[in-house]
Amino acid sequence: MSRSFELADRLKKLPPYLFAEIDRAKTELRRKKISFIDLSIGDPDIPAPKAVLKKIFEASAVKSNQKYALDAGKASLRAAIQKWMKKRFSVNLDPGSEILPLIGSKEGLVHFPLAFAGAGDYVLIPSPGYPGYRAAALFAGARVHEMPLLEKNAFLPELKKIPVSVRNKAKIMYLNYPNNPTTAVAPKSFLEEAVRFCSKHGIILAYDNAYSEIFFEKKPMSVLQIKGAKEVAVEFHSFSKTFCMTGFRLGWACGSAHLVGGLLKLKTNIDSGVWGAIQEGGAHALDKEWKYTDSLRKQFAARRNLFVAGLKKKGFDGIHADSAFYVWARLPRGYSSSIEYAAHLLKDKNIVATPGLGFGTHGEGFIRFALTTGTAELKKALQKL
């Protein structure tokens, strides 16, 4: 008889991971041989650039890429990131101290509080927001304070409403624009306000910019474009969204040398860096694949336009699809629970979508559809709704 071992308190405090639960539901459908339309997770169906795949294949045969990678990442990748940030955002970075490759942006975002927060500290997270932010705070032993992202406020948090007792003990604030799940794009005025707020109150700004290149009418900024941001901010980017390289696990952190250095110190004790061949593929993507990203935006814009028009015909309102590859919509009449509505879609329509409550308290009342499947499947989903 095997012994029963208690989970650590840090795991007991975690709610079930949203996307793991969705994966279980999809696995059960597959087990029953029930076909379904997957509009749940942000994992694009569009292949990564062919030239990137070729570069990785060729680099994998090089012996140096079969050894442990450097924790700080290849100089060639850091140089490509420096050049890309300069071209895209006019942001100047020191590749030696202000850029750190990551095993995907999620890895960096979730590990970051371990370097700078602890018991008694608050971590400010958006609600609705990416579930990893909450886990990051709890793993560090910190307390969580949700910042409501409300439709009436264009899904921007009201920083002045953060209680003084929380603000004075806050160590990190997570922000994410273009926003998952609401698709909102933050204006420059809000980014300036956020930088001023964090500077005034001694709070680190962890800015998740994973969707910076999936935009339509409004071109997103880097928070590092804001005066004074480098003193308080670290920004996270992802190859997963920009180049459809979700399974490759590559991203980067950049910004304040002190904050990037703290994350590097932590990572040297956790992992051994990103596989060298993947880094070479990433460098090629940043240097050469601007047209690919332009094409990607056009494909997602076409999907968005199709799906939003279809939802409107079905009577949905409160539809938001300003960026990223998601549609964030109010629940249809007759439903007040996003869990209930997602279960209805799964059971009765064979459509997998993500309930808003899974992104935090203030996500209730909404459903998120991911436009990560082709137009034929999207049309089928609309017919079923």
Q: Are residues 223 and 320 in the same domain?
A: no
Share of the chain above pLDDT 90, in %: 88
Structure confidence at residue 2 (pLDDT): 60
Q: How many domains are there within the chain?
A: 2
Sign for the pseudo-dihedral over CA of 338, 132, 134, 165: negative
Identify the domain boundary among 255, 288, 321: 288
pLDDT tens digit string along 106-138?
Answer: 999 999 999 999 999 999 999 999 999 999 999
Structure confidence at residue 12 (pLDDT): 84
Q: Which of 13-22, 34-43, 92-101, 297-306 has the lowest mean pLDDT?
A: 13-22
For residue 191, what is the enclosing H or E element? helix 188-201
Q: Are residues 265 and 143 in the same domain?
A: yes
**Contact in structure between 297 and 186 (CB atoms under 8 Å):** no
Q: Are residues 134 and 32 in the same domain?
A: no
**With 90 as the cut, is the pLDDT of residue 212 above it?**
yes
Residue 205 lies inside a defined structural domain of this protein: yes
Q: Are residues 239 and 359 in the same domain?
A: no
Provide the CATH number for the domain around residue 301.
3.90.1150.10
Share of the chain above pLDDT 70, in %: 98
pLDDT tens digit string along 313-330?
Answer: 999 999 999 999 999 999
**With 70 as the cut, is the pLDDT of residue 365 above it?**
yes
Residue 193 lies inside a defined structural domain of this protein: yes
Q: Are residues 305 and 264 in the same domain?
A: no
Q: How confident is the model at residue 22 (pLDDT cuts 50, 70, 90)?
A: confident
Residue 52 lies inside a defined structural domain of this protein: no
**With 90 as the cut, is the pLDDT of residue 282 above it?**
yes
Strands (E), the chain: 37-38, 99-102, 122-127, 143-148, 170-176, 204-208, 233-238, 251-255, 319-320, 326-330, 351-352, 354-355, 366-370
CA dihedral 55, 58, 64, 68 (to 10 degrees): 60
**With 70 as the cut, is the pLDDT of residue 19 above it?**
no
Residue 359 lies inside a defined structural domain of this protein: yes
Instruction: In whole angstroms, give the CA distance from residue 328 to residue 98.
Output: 34
Q: Are residues 170 and 148 in the same domain?
A: yes
Identify the domain boundary among 261, 288, 315: 288
Q: Are residues 77 and 34 in the same domain?
A: no
**With 60 as the cut, is the pLDDT of residue 1 above it?**
no
Q: What is the pTM of this model?
A: 0.95
Kindly state the average pLDDT of the residues 210-228.
Answer: 97
Structure confidence at residue 34 (pLDDT): 76
**Contact in structure between 252 and 207 (CB atoms under 8 Å):** no
Q: Are residues 170 and 134 in the same domain?
A: yes
Q: How confident is the model at residue 374 (pLDDT cuts 50, 70, 90)?
A: very high
Identify the domain boundary among 256, 288, 320: 288
Kindly state the average pLDDT of the residues 280-306.
Answer: 97
Q: State the average pLDDT for the chain.
A: 95
Residue 312 lies inside a defined structural domain of this protein: yes
Residue 55 lies inside a defined structural domain of this protein: no
Structure confidence at residue 30 (pLDDT): 77
Q: How confident is the model at residue 28 (pLDDT cuts 50, 70, 90)?
A: confident
Beta bridge partners of 172: 123, 204
Task: Tokens for 298, please give them.
Answer: 């056009």
Q: Are residues 71 and 35 in the same domain?
A: no
Domain coverage including residue 337: 9-47+291-384
Structure confidence at residue 378 (pLDDT): 97
Residue 58 lies inside a defined structural domain of this protein: no
**With 90 as the cut, is the pLDDT of residue 33 above it?**
no
Residue 60 lies inside a defined structural domain of this protein: no
Provide the CATH number for the domain around residue 104.
3.40.640.10
Q: How confident is the model at residue 254 (pLDDT cuts 50, 70, 90)?
A: very high
Structure confidence at residue 235 (pLDDT): 98
Q: How confident is the model at residue 55 (pLDDT cuts 50, 70, 90)?
A: very high
**Contact in structure between 306 and 375 (CB atoms under 8 Å):** yes
Q: Scanning the structure block, which residue is given the tokens 């007792």?
A: 165
**With 60 as the cut, is the pLDDT of residue 301 above it?**
yes
